[in-house]
Amino acid sequence: MAEYFHVNTPLLESMSMSKLVGTTVYLKMENSQPTGSFKIRGIGHLCQKLAKESTGVVCSSGGNAGMAAAYAARKMGIPATIIIPSSTPPLVVKRLKDQGATVKCIGKVWDDANAEALRLAETEGLTYVPPFDHPLLWQGHASLIAEVAASLGSGVKPGAVLVAVGGGGLLCGVIQGLKDVGWTDVPVVAMETVGADCFNAAVKAGKLVTLDDITSEAKCLGAKTVCKKAFEYSQCSEVTIISELVTDQQALSAIEAFLDEERVLVEMACGAALAAVYSGLIQRLQGEGRLPTLLGPLLVIVCGGSSIDMEQLSNLKHKLHN
Ligand code: PLV
């Protein structure tokens, strides 16, 4: 068995994005992971630690965590059951089945699917694979910052990191990675869409908040409550997290611009992060003094995602661009 399930992804310089922001923009291309997103880093690590002796794994997911769990389970020779909510597009069901997983669609949003995954873990004795709330996931995701540090070489460090937030697992992993390489003074811009904004709501309220519903099309950002660790990071002085929102329309426009300019198709969850560049949010933060005017290189985590193809893109355009 391979030591890791994830691959070392390319770190690319984007000329067009650099021009927009006025500083070098580096793209960490997590879309090129075997399952199309960063999730395999943490989930691969967790499965190797917790599921070696397992009779099977069960994972609740908006899609990408499930893809990673199905992939890891297949490589480990154990069955995977993936519980998704009805908001997950059919193309993801097909991709999960292609990975050999059993797929069950339960409830409207991820939180509903998760309740069923926890129940199955209990009643069937399966190993529960959480999509974002576990220290082993954060440890696995942290490897992406270690790779960036190695790619940039000594003496170069990002001026800021741009990241999408769903349940907060990627954010926790990125912060852990920044701590590991001694970059705790690098601010993190944490992006969500309006309607999938549980982290922003918690930051504003000063406590964990459970959203009534997920109304954004960025379903993979659609956890109703952010994980406690992400909230704690937002409250501590050790790291700087700037929580910002974009609209679904801005996230979709970002996906389209990224496809045109970088020739890569990513899903809405990732579009939320890219929109910070394309919508001018980074410059706005500089104007407000929340990011330095002379900003060092901007590191964009291109988290990727499988919930997108040409048909889904055209569905989203139809829904959002009218
Ligand atoms: N998606 C999770 C949670 O969904 C999932 O089950 O796949 N970018 C992409 C492409 C993602 O799939 C996700 C999470 C994120 C960003 C956000 O990561 P998180 O949840 O660790 O903050 C409900």
Cβ atoms of 143 and 41 within 8 Å: the answer is yes
Ligand 1 neighbourhood includes 130 CB (under 6 angstroms)? no
Kindly give the distance from the C-alpha atom of residue 95 to the centroid of ligand 1, in angstroms, as a whole number. 16
Cα distance between residue 103 and residue 221, in whole Å: 20
CB neighbour list of residue 29: distance below 8 Å, 6 or more residues apart: 9, 10, 11, 12, 264, 302, 304
Kindly give the distance from the C-alpha atom of residue 168 to the centroid of ligand 1, in angstroms, as a whole number. 8
CATH 3.30.230.10 holds for 11-38+136-320: no
Q: What is the pLDDT of residue 322?
A: 74
Cα distance between residue 22 and residue 1, in whole Å: 44
Ligand 1 neighbourhood includes 140 CB (under 6 angstroms)? no
Q: What is the pLDDT of residue 2?
A: 57
Cα distance between residue 290 and residue 263, in whole Å: 31
Ligand 1 neighbourhood includes 220 CB (under 6 angstroms)? yes
Ligand 1 neighbourhood includes 222 CB (under 6 angstroms)? yes
Q: Helix, strand or coil for residue 261? A: helix
Q: What is the pLDDT of residue 192?
A: 98
Ligand 1 neighbourhood includes 271 CB (under 6 angstroms)? no
In tens, the pLDDT along 235-279 reads 999 999 999 999 999 999 999 999 999 999 999 999 999 999 999
Cα distance between residue 263 and residue 72, in whole Å: 28
Atom of ligand 1 nearest to the CA of 226: 22
In tens, the pLDDT along 206-234 reads 999 999 999 999 999 999 999 999 999 99
Angle of the 169-180 helix axis to the 39-50 helix axis, nearest 10: 90
Kindly give the distance from the C-alpha atom of residue 322 to the centroid of ligand 1, in angstroms, as a whole number. 27
Query: What's the CATH number for 39-132?
Result: 3.40.50.1100
CB neighbour list of residue 226: distance below 8 Å, 6 or more residues apart: 165, 167, 168, 198, 199, 202, 208
- pTM comes to 0.98
Q: Where in the chain is the domain with CATH 3.40.50.1100?
A: 11-38+136-320, 39-132
Low-confidence spans in the chain with pLDDT less than 70: 1-2
Kindly give the distance from the C-alpha atom of residue 237 to the centroid of ligand 1, in angstroms, as a whole number. 26
Bridge partners of 25, per DSSP, are 14, 298
Kindly give the distance from the C-alpha atom of residue 294 to the centroid of ligand 1, in angstroms, as a whole number. 31
